[in-house]
A and B are shown apart, each in its own frame.
Chain A
Amino acid sequence: MKKIDGILKWWYPLIFTAILVFSLLALRYYVQNKLLEIKLADLSSETDYIYRYLSSKLADGEKHKKIFSDLKAELLPYNDITVLSLKGKIFYCSKRQRDGSLKDCAGEKKGSDWLYEEEIAEARHSEKLTGYSIEFGQSVDKPAETVRQFNFARRYPELIIRIAIPYKAIPQYMNMLDIALLCFVLLITAILVVSNRYLSRAVVKPIEKIIDYLKNYRNMLRQNLEYSGIQEIALLQKALNHTARDVQQKVNELSYRKNQVEIVIKNVSEAVLILDKNLKVMLYNQGLFSLLNINPNVYYGKIDEKYYYEIIRNNALNEMIEESAETRERFTKNISIAGSEDTVLEVNCIPLPEGEGMVLFIDNITEQYRLVEIKKSFVENASHEFKTPISIIKGYLETLIKSNDLSVDEQKGYLEKVLRNADRLNNLIKDLVTLNKLDESKGYFTKEMIDLVDIIEGCLDALSVKAESKDIVLSNNMTSDKIILKGNPEHLEIIFFNLIDNAITYSDAGGRVTVDIEESGGQITVLITDTGIGIPTEHRDRIFERFYRVDEGRSRKSGGTGLGLSIVKHAVSFHEGKITCSNNPNTAGTQFKVVLPVGQSVDQRIAQLEHSGE
């Protein structure tokens, strides 16, 4: 590729000069020929004159000598004059001497030799009747000097006349012409070089500027080009400025839209991942990192332009993306990630039309999933719990109806069993209703200021008969005789009745159930300790779940519904308290610890105590 600068500065003048020189050379050749023709015609008229003179003289019959001496005066400008007959006989021959005089030299050369001279031979044979030659030779007198002479011959009907003149007489015009032409060429070339330099600067400079301007597109968007003085270039610059403004506008618009999209994506609660048509990461939000356990340090903080399989380290999810990309169908799937803690992700895979990429919405639904699982198992458990007593009742009733030979005692025994199972069903329904109430209507129960010691003592009283029948000591270690808190008496009774009842149920004969109460810093801690069978560590987290039983057989036998502790847990949390379970610190057995907030400031409570003491 050639530079316009180079073309203008060098190639163009060079080619132009070459053409000029060539045409001038042609002209020079033409002029030279023309000059020669003129010279030849000129010399022809000279010889014509000599011929006419000689022929008139000869016709007059004058003497040879006389003609010669007369001619002398006539022919002064010429160096040599020779007159020959057509056959080669010399009539006349003269030669100019150095001193300027003419010398007769007819005897120096034979007539036949003259006939072989180039110009004479040509004149003899040419139809033009003329001939010429240019002769180079050494000067006779001065050997260092080169003599050049122009010889001309013309043929007439009976004789040939030859004239020789010094050569310089012709080329002196040519030399002048040559110098003039050379000067002309040099002048034109100089003008060309200078003007092209200017032209090149005028055209190339703005073009270079435009190139620089285009190279740095940011610049292009910021500033306008200055217009050049050349119209075409100015038009180009104008068009460029216009385009730049357009581009700027489009860029602004696009970046605005991109920002909008990014803001939306960043603020969506789910993790969002947008893949381009090669399934490389295009857009995402921060939620993605934690949800898919991506360590951004691995990717130096940026995951743009990575393939999806480089960042998503879950085969199930990757298969889903691939399937969606292939079939171009939307997928919604739950994917569980196993680990020390299970996570369940809901993934929405939405392929964009025309295979332009894919949008993934990923949400952590572990909690919802767990709740659904709990509900499912609750229904299963509840129906199972209902089925058992009903099938027992049905069995006994069927026996009673079908068998006619049962004794009264047997019938009574059967009916008692039916009654017991009916009671169990009743309990179950009551517990479920309580649980449901606690579950759904937290604001339904009112709280009032009540004495917790009073409530616990009531529970102990109610259960003393059961304890006695099992030979278990119920020991009341409560030191204070009044602890007021804000709570719902029914619920508090449920809590402590259930806990003490459980303690008695799961203790063997000779055991002991102790109740301690302590109050400090606005919190009441109640400890219910038994010497029973205890609860293995791995079950402790789950005993508060509905229908969860450590020992299925024993629990059923004791008439439990499996809902007791669940109800307790709900009731405690209704009071914004906490319940935990641990080993009996002294012997085998279990200790339940219930922590309840007082629900009022200490000052208020003191004031209230003083008031009630009055």
Chain B
Amino acid sequence: MKIRLDEEINKLKKTLLEMGNAVEESIGLVIKSLKERDTVLAKKVIRDDSLVNRLEVLVDKTCLKIFALKQPIAVDLRFVASSLKVNNDLERIGDFASRIAEEIIGLSNETDTPEADELYQMAEITQEMVKLCLEAFMQGNVDIAKQVIQKDSEVDKLYENLIKTIGPYVHEDSERFEIGLAFINIGKSLERIGDHAKNICEDAIYLAEGEIVKHRKDH
């Protein structure tokens, strides 16, 4: 079987972006379903996760095929190797989105919920992060990647605030324990989504500059 390297890499890019679009849309739907308590949307998010899973397998196969048949070098090698990691991150993001959707379905009958604006803010920031991190990766845009990495600390701060809000809310009435826990779980999932987006950005910087910025404290 004869394949052309650039064609295969374009295909890889396209599939990764499709995955990214799907998880980004899932996060959008999750925010909406959280705001409107719309379990139909939440169920759609859980269903859509299977698309992301299928795409993950496709990306894995494509990467291995390129490795086996084309022995890419230099930037191509970095791209294909990074794609494997980005693929994994995206799949995890998809999983977290469907986990949030499950929590929302669990919350659908509860009326006594806390006002957690942090959650919506977190969701909006992470959605933006997921969108931008993949674009930074594809375009090799280091500036954008660094911006997204900075946004992750915002998400972390919002998560801390969320915990501070949920604490007193649960204290008032021990019946609220489960709802509070669900909200914290949603927050935690969003925070983890932010972390994965940050990982993708680190891969983007590695791809563009060949420099490993992981596990550094200066950003």
Chain A residues near B13 (CB-CB < 8 A): 307, 309-310
Residue of A nearest to B10 (CB): A307
Chain A residues near B135 (CB-CB < 8 A): 295, 298-299, 310, 313
Q: CB distance B127 to A339 under 8 Å?
A: yes
The digit string for A324-345, where 1 denotes a CB below 8 A from any CB of B, is 0000000000000111101000
Interface centre among A307, A309, A337, A338 (most CB of B within 10 A): A338
The verdict on B155 contacting chain A, using a C-beta distance below 8 Å, is: no
The verdict on B46 contacting chain A, using a C-beta distance below 8 Å, is: no
Interface stretch, picked from B22-30, B67-75, B90-98, is B22-30
Q: How far is A309 from B14 in the complex, measured between Cα atoms in Å?
A: 6
Checking B10, B28, B143 against A338 with a beta-carbon cut-off of 8 angstroms, the contacting residue is B28
Q: CB distance A315 to B22 under 8 Å?
A: yes
Residue of B nearest to A308 (CB): B14
Main secondary structure of the interface of B (DSSP, over half): helix
The verdict on B187 contacting chain A, using a C-beta distance below 8 Å, is: no
Minimum CB–CB distance from A38 to chain B (whole Å) comes to 83
Q: How far is A549 from B8 in the complex, measured between Cα atoms in Å?
A: 57
Q: How far is A302 from B146 in the complex, measured between Cα atoms in Å?
A: 20
Q: How far is A307 from B12 in the complex, measured between Cα atoms in Å?
A: 13
Please provide the chain A residues from 539 to 594 with a CB less than 8 Å away from any CB of chain B in the complex: none
* Contact A313:B20 (CB < 8 A) given known A295-B132, A307-B10, A340-B120: yes
Chain B residues near A295 (CB-CB < 8 A): 131-132, 135, 144
Q: CB distance A318 to B28 under 8 Å?
A: no
Q: How far is A310 from B10 in the complex, measured between Cα atoms in Å?
A: 10
Residue of A nearest to B144 (CB): A298
Q: How far is A315 from B19 in the complex, measured between Cα atoms in Å?
A: 9
Q: CB distance A298 to B132 under 8 Å?
A: yes
Q: How far is A342 from B36 in the complex, measured between Cα atoms in Å?
A: 12
Minimum CB–CB distance from A95 to chain B (whole Å) comes to 94
Chain A residues near B144 (CB-CB < 8 A): 295, 297-298
Q: How far is A339 from B131 in the complex, measured between Cα atoms in Å?
A: 12
Chain A residues near B127 (CB-CB < 8 A): 339
The verdict on A300 contacting chain B, using a C-beta distance below 8 Å, is: yes
Checking A297, A299, A309, A338 against B25 with a beta-carbon cut-off of 8 angstroms, the contacting residue is A338
Please provide the chain A residues from 282 to 298 with a CB less than 8 Å away from any CB of chain B in the complex: 293, 295, 297-298
Residue of A nearest to B24 (CB): A313
Chain B residues near A314 (CB-CB < 8 A): 21, 25
Q: How far is A339 from B135 in the complex, measured between Cα atoms in Å?
A: 19
Checking B21, B29, B143 against A297 with a beta-carbon cut-off of 8 angstroms, the contacting residue is B143
Please provide the chain A residues from 113 to 143 with a CB less than 8 Å away from any CB of chain B in the complex: none
Checking A298, A315, A337, A340 against B139 with a beta-carbon cut-off of 8 angstroms, the contacting residue is A298
Q: How many pairs, one residue from A and one from B, have CB atoms within 8 Å of each other in the complex?
A: 63
The verdict on B176 contacting chain A, using a C-beta distance below 8 Å, is: no
Checking B17, B20, B21, B141 against A298 with a beta-carbon cut-off of 8 angstroms, the contacting residue is B141
The digit string for A268-293, where 1 denotes a CB below 8 A from any CB of B, is 00000000000000000000000001
Please provide the chain B residues from 125 to 155 with a CB less than 8 Å away from any CB of chain A in the complex: 127, 131-132, 135-136, 138-139, 141, 143-144
Q: CB distance B17 to A309 under 8 Å?
A: yes
Q: CB distance A340 to B32 under 8 Å?
A: yes
Q: CB distance A315 to B25 under 8 Å?
A: yes
Minimum CB–CB distance from B167 to chain A (whole Å) comes to 23
Residue of B nearest to A295 (CB): B132
Minimum CB–CB distance from B115 to chain A (whole Å) comes to 10
Chain A residues near B22 (CB-CB < 8 A): 315
Minimum CB–CB distance from A85 to chain B (whole Å) comes to 100
The digit string for A301-324, where 1 denotes a CB below 8 A from any CB of B, is 000000101100111001000000
Chain B residues near A293 (CB-CB < 8 A): 131
* Contact A338:B141 (CB < 8 A) given known A307-B14, A310-B13, A318-B18: no
Checking A300, A310, A337, A339 against B17 with a beta-carbon cut-off of 8 angstroms, the contacting residue is A310
Q: CB distance B32 to A339 under 8 Å?
A: yes
Please provide the chain B residues from 40 to 88 with a CB less than 8 Å away from any CB of chain A in the complex: 41
The verdict on B31 contacting chain A, using a C-beta distance below 8 Å, is: yes
Checking B14, B31, B132, B138 against A340 with a beta-carbon cut-off of 8 angstroms, the contacting residue is B31
The digit string for B144-187, where 1 denotes a CB below 8 A from any CB of A, is 10000000000000000000000000000000000000000000
* Contact A309:B143 (CB < 8 A) given known A298-B135, A338-B25, A339-B31: no
The verdict on B124 contacting chain A, using a C-beta distance below 8 Å, is: yes
Residue of B nearest to A537 (CB): B115
* Contact A338:B131 (CB < 8 A) given known A297-B144, A307-B14, A310-B13: no
Q: How far is A315 from B134 in the complex, measured between Cα atoms in Å?
A: 14
Chain A residues near B138 (CB-CB < 8 A): 310
Residue of B nearest to A300 (CB): B141
Q: How far is A298 from B131 in the complex, measured between Cα atoms in Å?
A: 11
Residue of A nearest to B17 (CB): A309
Chain A residues near B31 (CB-CB < 8 A): 339-340
Minimum CB–CB distance from A115 to chain B (whole Å) comes to 91
Interface centre among A293, A297, A314 (most CB of B within 10 A): A297
The digit string for A502-521, where 1 denotes a CB below 8 A from any CB of B, is 00000000000000000000
Minimum CB–CB distance from B160 to chain A (whole Å) comes to 22
Checking B18, B124, B131 against A315 with a beta-carbon cut-off of 8 angstroms, the contacting residue is B18
Minimum CB–CB distance from B1 to chain A (whole Å) comes to 23
Minimum CB–CB distance from B43 to chain A (whole Å) comes to 14
Residue of A nearest to B30 (CB): A338
Q: CB distance A338 to B32 under 8 Å?
A: yes
Residue of A nearest to B15 (CB): A309
Residue of A nearest to B37 (CB): A538
Q: How far is A77 from B197 in the complex, measured between Cα atoms in Å?
A: 119
Q: How far is A479 from B178 in the complex, measured between Cα atoms in Å?
A: 52
Q: How far is A338 from B123 in the complex, measured between Cα atoms in Å?
A: 13
Residue of B nearest to A278 (CB): B10
Chain A residues near B17 (CB-CB < 8 A): 309-310, 313
Q: CB distance A318 to B32 under 8 Å?
A: no
Q: How far is A293 from B135 in the complex, measured between Cα atoms in Å?
A: 12
Minimum CB–CB distance from A613 to chain B (whole Å) comes to 53
Chain A residues near B10 (CB-CB < 8 A): 307
Q: How far is A298 from B25 in the complex, measured between Cα atoms in Å?
A: 19
Q: Contacts A339-B28, A340-B31 given; 12 further ones with Cβ under 8 A?
A: A295-B132, A297-B143, A298-B141, A299-B139, A300-B141, A307-B10, A307-B14, A309-B17, A310-B138, A310-B139, A313-B131, A338-B29
7 pairs of A and B residues whose beta carbons are closest in the complex: A338-B28, A339-B28, A298-B135, A315-B21, A338-B29, A309-B14, A313-B21
A-B pairs with beta carbons under 8 Å apart, 7 shown: A295-B132, A297-B144, A307-B13, A313-B17, A339-B127, A340-B28, A340-B120
